[in-house]
Amino acid sequence: MPHGKVLVAQGGGPTAVINQSMAGVVLEARKFRNVELVYGAYHGVSGIVNEDFLDLTQETSHNIEMVASTPSSALGSTRDKPDLRYCQEIFKVLKAHDIGYFFYIGGNDSSDTVRIVSEEARRAGYPLRCIHIPKTIDNDLVGNDHTPGFPSAARFVAQAFMGANLDNASLPGVYLAVVMGRHAGFLTAASALGKKFPDDGPHLIYIPERTFNVEKFIADVKATYDRHGRCVIAASEGIHDEKGTPIITQLSSQVERDAHGNVQLSGTGALADLLCDKIKSQLGIKRVRGDTFGYLQRSFMGCVSDVDQREAREVGEKAVQFAMWGNRDGSVAIKRTGFYSVDYHLLPLEAVAGKTRVMEDEFISADGTDITDAFRLYLRPLLGSGMPDAYRLRLNKVDKILNPSK
């Protein structure tokens, strides 16, 4: 077992349960005699290079438990994606502070950072155990049945569409909502999980795994509207044309790009407005409304899956156990073992780092605008207990008196 301090950090977009993983690391690490202090990096890797560390050993267990059930990254996060030079800076600081264990909670960019730091340490002959702890609402980490954070975000999306469907049934028209997910459609597909009655929406689901064609889209909407007198649509922010160009760039040439060169998809209602305008102008339907779920879907306070909470806690705990009792660095992964049970494995960092999982074909319907029962079976247990359920009145119609023929 390497000696030294433990450092935990959080990277990328926050989730509803990312603090459960942090709590899992902190509380489990304190049980090991070779661990003297547990530090948290303030705002991810940028906190490391700036030596902005919090001493979590001076935090009460009680408050750590309360923080664990609070959404968003309590240690702060960062969008920095370190290159080799940045990782060497990280390594320098870890060494100066006598860090023996480095735990980074994040997505595939974060796992790549862990991989580079791990290699730097090995090259320098410095005893450092590096473990990546999975987190992402997009569910796009390879080698995982699913990733912590996704189930709670999926639950939000499912509940949101349950309500949107009821609203749309009450005041008929077209309702479209844009859901997060640049490359993977899992979160958008979760919109279907609240469907109960045969004519419930979302009636159409558009995901990045399938090419988006505007003409086909308009025809789909028309067919649904003709059939049901209304239409509820879930569209991923990452939908793109056959060349891979995001549909949102068709709207504006002035798109914002992040440090990774990615087009800004969230934090704007532009895509929903663009698609609604198309429906209005091409189909002449009057009541067309578009929402963009935006940051609510990853940060809304009070919508969380208890299954997600437990698993996020466990990946943190298991990370410490793998680090202490194992002999290699890696990425903790969730493996489904039953209906519904899971176990945890440590994957090689290079098996996860920088790779992107998308929705498996078996989860997508043949026409590409719906999910399959296989996806329903996959996702339902993850949403946890206490899911709300929608009821409707039975249509016991009364005979007309003034206009009996109508």
- Please list every residue from 90 through 109 that binds its own copies, using CB under 8 A: 92-93, 96-97
| Binds its own copies by CB under 8 A, chosen from 142, 255, 282, 294 | 294
What's the CA gap between 280 and 267, in Å, rounded? 23
Which of 182, 193, 110 lies closest to 139 in space, CA to CA?
Answer: 182
Among 296, 336, 354, 368, binds its own copies (CB under 8 A): 296
- 383 touches its own copies by CB under 8 A: no
How far CA 218 is from CA of 104, 244, 369, in Å, comes to: 44, 20, 13
Per rule CB under 8 A, is residue 167 in the interface with its own copies? Answer: yes
Provide the H-helix boundaries in 229-343: 270-283, 296-299, 306-325
Q: Which is nearer to its own copies, 258 or 360 (CB)?
A: 258
Beta strand pairing call for 231-236 and 204-206:
parallel
138 tagged catalytic: yes
* Angle, in degrees to the nearest 10, between helices 270-283 and 214-228: 70
Q: Is 275 in the site for its own copies (CB under 8 A)?
A: no
Show the site string, 35-54: x = touches its own copies by CB under 8 A, - = not. Answer: ----xx-x-------xxxxx
**Residue choice 25, 74, 347, 349 for contact with its own copies (CB under 8 A):** 74
Phi-psi region of 18 (alpha: psi -120 to 50; beta: other; left: phi over 0): alpha
The reply, when asked if residue 138 is annotated as ligand binding, is: yes
Segment interacting with its own copies, rule: CB under 8 A, options 105-113, 237-245, 294-302, 333-341:
294-302
Alpha-carbon distance values, 43 to 40, 49, 100 (Å): 9, 10, 20
CB of 389 to its own copies, least distance (A): 8
Calculate helix-pair angle for 61-68, 18-29, nearest 10 degrees. 160
Distance from C-alpha of 333 to C-alpha of 395, rounded to nearest angstrom: 49
The distance of closest approach from Cβ of residue 69 to its own copies in the complex, given in angstroms and rounded to an integer, is 8
297 annotated ligand-binding residue:
yes
Our finding on whether 401 is near its own copies (CB under 8 A) is: yes
Decide: is 113 part of the binding site for its own copies (CB under 8 A). Answer: no
310 is in an annotated binding site: no
Pairing relationship of beta strands 129-134 and 38-41 according to DSSP bridges: unpaired
42 or 344: whose CB is closer to its own copies? 42
Nearest to 221 by CA among 233, 238, 236: 233
- The interface with its own copies within residues 185-214 (CB under 8 A) comprises 194
149 near its own copies (CB under 8 A): no
Task: Report if residue 303 touches its own copies, rule: CB under 8 A.
Answer: yes
CB of 211 to its own copies, least distance (A): 25
Quote the CA–CA distance of 137 and 127 in Å, as a whole number: 33
From the CB of 100, what's the least distance to its own copies, in Å? 15
Which 220-259 residues touch its own copies, going by CB under 8 A? none
Q: Give per-residue burial for 174-207: e unless 16+ CB within 10 Å, then b.
A: bbbbbbbbbbbbbbbbbbbbbbeeeebbbbbbbb
The catalytically annotated residue of 138, 140, 220, 329 is: 138
- Which of 83, 85, 119 has its CA nearest to residue 102? 119
- Among residues 171 and 377, whose Cβ is nearest to its own copies? 171
Write down the least CB distance from residue 183 to its own copies, Å: 20
Angle, alpha carbons 145-185-344 (nearest 5°): 15
β-bridge partners, 222: none
User: Closest CB to its own copies among 128 and 364?
Assistant: 128
Q: Is 262 in the site for its own copies (CB under 8 A)?
A: no
Q: Does 56 bind its own copies (CB under 8 A)?
A: yes
Residue with tokens 């078996």: 362
Enumerate the known binding-site residues.
Answer: 13, 108, 136-138, 180-182, 237, 295-298
Which residues are known catalytic residues?
Answer: 138
